[in-house]
Amino acid sequence: MKRDKHLFVLMAPYMLLFGMFTVLPVIISIFFSFTYFNMLEAPRWIGWDNYARLLWSDDVFLIGLKNTLIFAVITGPVSYLACFVFAWLINELRPKVRAFMTLIFFAPSISGNVFFIWQIIFSSDAYGIINGFLMRIGYLNEPIQWLQDPQYMLGIIIIVQLWLSLGTSFLAFIAGLQTVDRTLYEAGAVDGVRNRWQELWYITLPSMRPQLMFGAVIQITASLAVADVSMALAGFPSVQYGAHTVVTHLVDYGTIRFEMGYASAIATILFMLMLGTNLIVQKLLRKVGE
128 lies in some domain: yes
Domain total in the chain: 1
What pLDDT sits at residue 196?
80
What pLDDT sits at residue 160?
87
What is the rounded distance in angstroms from the CA atom of residue 215 to the CA atom of residue 204?
Answer: 15
Question: 80: closest CA among 289, 285, 230?
Answer: 285
Mean residue pLDDT of the chain comes to 87
What is the rounded distance in angstroms from the CA atom of residue 191 to the CA atom of residue 254?
Answer: 58
43 lies in some domain: no
29 lies in some domain: no
37 lies in some domain: no
What is the rounded distance in angstroms from the CA atom of residue 231 to the CA atom of residue 238?
Answer: 7
pLDDT at 105 over 60: yes
Q: Whole domain around residue 113: which residue ranges?
A: 52-285
pLDDT at 23 over 90: yes
pLDDT tier, 289 (very low <50, low <70, confident <90, very high otherwise): low
- Encode pLDDT of 163-219 as tens digits: 887 777 888 888 888 888 888 887 888 878 778 888 888 888 888 888 888 888 888
pLDDT at 288 over 70: no
pTM (two decimals): 0.84
169 lies in some domain: yes
pLDDT at 4 over 90: no
pLDDT at 110 over 80: no
67 lies in some domain: yes
20 lies in some domain: no
Percent of the chain with pLDDT over 90: 29
- Encode pLDDT of 231-268 as tens digits: 888 888 888 898 899 999 999 999 999 999 999 999 99
What pLDDT sits at residue 101?
86
3-state SS, residue 80: helix
Q: Give 217's Cβ-side CA count (13 Å radius).
A: 10
What CATH number should be reported for the domain holding residue 267?
Answer: 1.10.3720.10
9 lies in some domain: no
